[in-house]
Amino acid sequence: MKHHGIPWEQTRQKFGECMKLTFAIIGCGLTGTSAFCQFIRNLRERAGRRHLGHGGIRIAVVEKQRLFGPGFPYSEEFVMPCHMTNTCAEEMGIEPDDPINFKEWAVAHHDQPAPRHTASPEADELEAASCTYYPRAVMGEYLRARFMESVETARELGCEVSLYPRCEVLDAAEKGEKLTMRIKKLEDGGIFFLEADHVLLATGHWFHPSNDARYFPSPWPARALLEGIPRGASVAVLGSSLSAVDAVLTLTSEGEFFRSPSGELQFRCPSQTRKIALCSRRGILPKVRGKMGGYKNQFLTQGNVQHLLENLGEEPALEGLFRLLRLDLEAVYGHPIPWSEVMNPSLPPMHTLERDLKKAEEGDGPQGDLLWQTVLHQSFFMAREVYLHLPAYEKMRFEKKYGTVFFSYAAPMPPVVAARILALMKSGTVQLIRLGETYTLRKDPSGMGYEILSRGQQGETRRDCYDYLVDARGQERSFVKNPSELAANLLRSGVVRIERLPIQTRSGAPGDLAALDKENVYDSGSLWIHPETHQVLRVKADGSTTPSRCLYAAGIMTRGQILDASTARGCVLSASRVASHWAKLIK
């Protein structure tokens, strides 16, 4: 694909007075692709109603990778066929009002050759509990196809679309009511500039580079783990969430899964297999997704949650939310819920996973449905708004006490993935270690690996040594940790700010935002945005905030402010807000 990069002033001269509004998207993975496609859909609908085109609009899309659409979570360059989507395909479409679009696209393109691999799931493993799961690369191809379709639609509408693959934005500065970007061509190092009226920052995940051959700062690209960690090595995978599970599937992909005569899934190790330890503070694996039931919540409802948030003086928000959840769970199960077991499972990890998988496959409700999932799923559509309206001290409590447990239930594994992890644990290839709240990670004095010091179940000091270390704890929370030149420049110049909220306890009062020190504020790590439009917020001299006229941000960089910023559905909804706001700007 050719670059269309030319100085913006030359572009203005070329198109003359017809150039009225220019939009740009930095980063074209799931979030950027969703925003682009939804924006073009809005323009098409407007053009149809008014019988006009959009010749006065130009859209520029800048992407570091060579392909537009997949981003790293769904790109064949980063993932393998054994890596599955964790959400039902029926819920992963990139338009909010048509979530089944991805599933329909995948069915329509089922005859295309699919990538195969020793550890790839079989066709009958893709369907489970009214859900369909696909290899992530299939989602990537869907995103790529939808993006290119929207490019053609935009050009048919008269828009000027300029695509910049293998390019990286290094800086962005506001000048008047426009934003000028300094961009580097990754192929030859050339620099050029683009100017736009409105820009979406959707650069996605970031990881720190490593010069240590025995340390991998993320599970991606998957091939790097296979090529860099030899068979027979011992590997510590930091974390036990979905990213860690993906790392395990990568490191065991040379083996073979098969069914025993009794039907149990088992793992056949290659001649030499890596020994893997999933190491996390709480030692909790994601739950397993099952069938949704028909129970309608009586307590954890939008009306009751709204009342709770409007009357925070009567009851702490988190306690109130858990009370509503507990009432519905007790109503549907017919008995009290052992919360201590939910927060800290007493069964060994392998037995817990075996139980969770059985419940997911068979259900624990009258119709084979999974009751807790049915109750909890009904609250997901309002989780974003609830989190936005929590006081700062409640957000801090949630992150410290409940975050890990919440996401283990809110982001469950597909049964096919859970069955494989269970088979790996039973074969002795994988174990799960609970490190506790305090542990020490350090490089082995010999320089040949890493060691982790933690406390055992009886309080004894535990020392575990590993040849290699993979950090799979997921995205770092704070945008300050983003190592890119763009992030550093945006923060240094004040073009973006980190959300910092005054802490107000139930009996206390917030202080002046400008005068608060670190002990008085909650630093979410998120880029501070207006949650309805995703415009980046600025702090004025009097301490109040105002939205930027030019810059928007969505996706993982807003994770500390938007609860579901890292989920596929959450990214789609955020992109929808940006696309809708952009469409309203066009007269």
Radius of gyration in angstroms for the set of CA atoms belonging to the chain, rounded to a whole number:
25
SS (H, E, C) 398-411: HHHHHHHHHHHHHC
Residue 9 has pLDDT above 60, yes or no: no
Take residue 544 and report the two structure tokens written for it: 């109040």
> Mean pLDDT highest for which of 196-200, 451-455, 558-562?
196-200
Is-contact 172 495, C-beta < 8 A? Answer: yes
pLDDT bin (cut points 50, 70, 90) of residue 506 is: low
Q: Check pLDDT > 60 for residue 526.
A: yes
Q: What is the reported pLDDT for 516?
A: 41
pLDDT at 115: 52
pLDDT band, very low/low/confident/very high, at 146 (cuts 50, 70, 90): very high
Given a cut of 80, is residue 511 above it in pLDDT? no
Residues above pLDDT 70, as percent of the chain: 90
DSSP letter (8 states) at residue 272: S
Q: Span 336-356, mean pLDDT?
A: 91
Token pair 């590993």 in the structure block, residue: 466
Contacting residues for 354 by C-beta, under 8 A, at least 6 apart: 422
Confidence (pLDDT) at 14: 39
Condensed to tens digits (0 to 9), the pLDDT of residues 204-224 reads 989 888 999 999 999 999 999
Label residue 309 by pLDDT band (50, 70, 90).
confident
Local confidence band at 289 (pLDDT 50, 70, 90 cut-offs): very high
Q: What is the pLDDT of residue 527?
A: 95
pLDDT of residue 18 exceeding 70: no
* Structure confidence at residue 313 (pLDDT): 72
What would the mean pLDDT of 266-290 be, rounded to a whole number?
93
Instruction: Identify the pLDDT of residue 553.
Output: 98
The pLDDT score that the predictor gives to residue 128 is 67
| DSSP-based three-state secondary structure for 325 | helix
Residue 52: its pLDDT value, please?
57
Q: Is the pLDDT of residue 410 over 70?
A: yes
Residue 508: band (very low, low, confident or very high) from pLDDT cuts 50, 70, 90: very low
How confident is the model over 143-162, as a mean pLDDT?
Answer: 96
The whole-number average pLDDT for the span 535-550 is 88
Q: In the chain, what percentage of residues exceed pLDDT 90? A: 67
Integer Cα distance of 585 and 553 in angstroms: 17
Which of 45, 218, 180, 168 is closest to 484 using CA atoms?
A: 168
pLDDT for the residue numbered 509: 44
pLDDT at 312 over 80: no
Confidence of residue 193 (pLDDT cuts 50, 70, 90): very high
Sequence length of the chain is 587
Looking at residues 68-96, what average pLDDT do you find?
Answer: 92
Q: Which residues pair with 63 in a beta bridge?
A: 165
Report cis status (omega within 30 of 0) of the bond before 219: no
Nearest-10 Cα torsion for 354, 356, 358, 360: -150
Q: With 80 as the cut, is the pLDDT of residue 97 above it?
A: yes
Predicted local confidence at residue 3, as pLDDT? 45
Digit-coded pLDDT (tens) for 442-482 = 998 887 899 999 987 777 888 999 999 999 998 888 999 99
Please name the residues in contact with 62: beta carbons below 8 A apart, sequence gap of 6 or more. 24, 25, 26, 27, 28, 164, 167, 168, 169, 181, 183, 194
**Summary mean pLDDT of the chain:** 88
* pTM (predicted TM-score): 0.90
Looking at residue 517, its pLDDT comes to 45
The pLDDT value recorded for residue 568 is 92
pLDDT of residue 345: 87
CA 103 to chain CA mean position, Å: 20
Report whether pLDDT(58) > 90.
Answer: yes
pLDDT at 546: 92
578-587 in b/e form (b: 16+ CB < 10 A) is bbebbbeeee
Residues whose CB falls within 8 Å of the CB of residue 74, separated by 6 or more in sequence, listed in order? 29, 30, 136, 137, 139, 140, 143
Predicted local distance difference test score (pLDDT) of residue 515: 42
pLDDT at 16 exceeding the cut of 50: no
Q: How confident is the model at residue 13 (pLDDT cuts 50, 70, 90)?
A: very low
Task: Please tell me the distance from the alpha carbon of residue 437 to that of residue 474, in angstroms, as a whole number.
Answer: 18
E-only strand ranges, 391-489 = 430-434, 440-443, 450-455, 461-466, 468-471
Lowest average pLDDT, out of 258-267, 337-346, 557-566, goes to: 337-346
Residue 12 — very low, low, confident or very high, per pLDDT cuts 50/70/90? very low
How far is it, in rounded angstroms, from Cα 78 to Cα 116?
15
Encoded amino acid at 435, one letter: L
